[in-house]
């Protein structure tokens, strides 16, 4: 039960990602890129402090409560997310990047919460995940993308989520999913316009 509460608290932090949409919607691409690059830089500096000079680190209690075991001595997930989000906004320079980010933060959060709370069937390829969590993530990816774009895009991001969430790759999905969702959206856009 403690792990589920911890994971839900971690995923609530995904709500912060909605600020990216607000910056893009109200201020445009340049400000969004600057905002994300700033978040990445600040996060990177704070992570270096946490890993090298922990006594100076200002967020000890939050980190103690929410960090996963492997994050205690390595960069935390938000670094990978900010790196991916900054890169995809830089590369795409349009709404496709924002949709990829919004789709990632919502589908990843839902997959983890559903997987930990009601997931009963382990993914045969990646034993850390459940089939129920992956299905929840696929559905949410399709819904969120469908809010912004045509159904073909929703299907594409759902498939991308299914593939990446179902395999055990050694790169953080906080980096790979937003990036690959954005690339998928751009490819679909190039094909169907």
Residue 12 has pLDDT above 80, yes or no: no
Q: What is the mean pLDDT of residues 99-108?
A: 96
pLDDT of residue 111: 93
Alpha helices in 53-168 (DSSP H): 60-66, 77-92, 95-117, 131-148, 151-166
The model's pLDDT over 46-101, given as tens digits with 9 standing for 90+, comes to: 999 998 888 888 888 877 777 777 777 788 888 999 999 999 999 999 999 999 99
DSSP 8-state code for residue 75: -
Residue 7 has pLDDT above 90, yes or no: no
Query: pTM for this one?
Result: 0.89
Residue 2 has pLDDT above 70, yes or no: no
Residue 103 near residue 157 (C-beta atoms within 8 A): yes
């Amino acid at each position: 039960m403690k792990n589920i509460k911890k994971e839900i608290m971690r995923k609530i932090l995904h709500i912060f990602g909605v600020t990216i949409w607000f910056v893009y919607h109200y201020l445009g691409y340049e400000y969004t890129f600057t905002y994300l690059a700033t978040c990445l830089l600040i996060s990177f500096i704070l992570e270096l402090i946490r890993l090298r000079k922990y006594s100076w680190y200002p967020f000890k209690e939050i980190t103690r409560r929410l960090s996963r075991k492997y994050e205690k001595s390595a960069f935390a997930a938000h670094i990978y997310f900010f790196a991916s989000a900054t890169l995809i906004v830089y590369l795409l320079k349009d709404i496709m990047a924002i949709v990829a980010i919004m789709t990632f933060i919502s589908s990843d959060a839902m997959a983890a919460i559903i997987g930990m709370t009601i997931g009963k069937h382990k993914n045969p390829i990646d034993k850390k995940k459940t089939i129920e969590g992956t299905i929840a993530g696929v559905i949410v990816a399709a819904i969120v993308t469908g809010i912004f774009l045509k159904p073909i895009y929703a299907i594409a991001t759902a498939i991308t989520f299914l593939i990446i969430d179902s395999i055990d790759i050694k790169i953080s999905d906080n980096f790979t999913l937003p990036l690959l969702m954005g690339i998928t959206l751009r490819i679909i856009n190039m094909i169907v316009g």
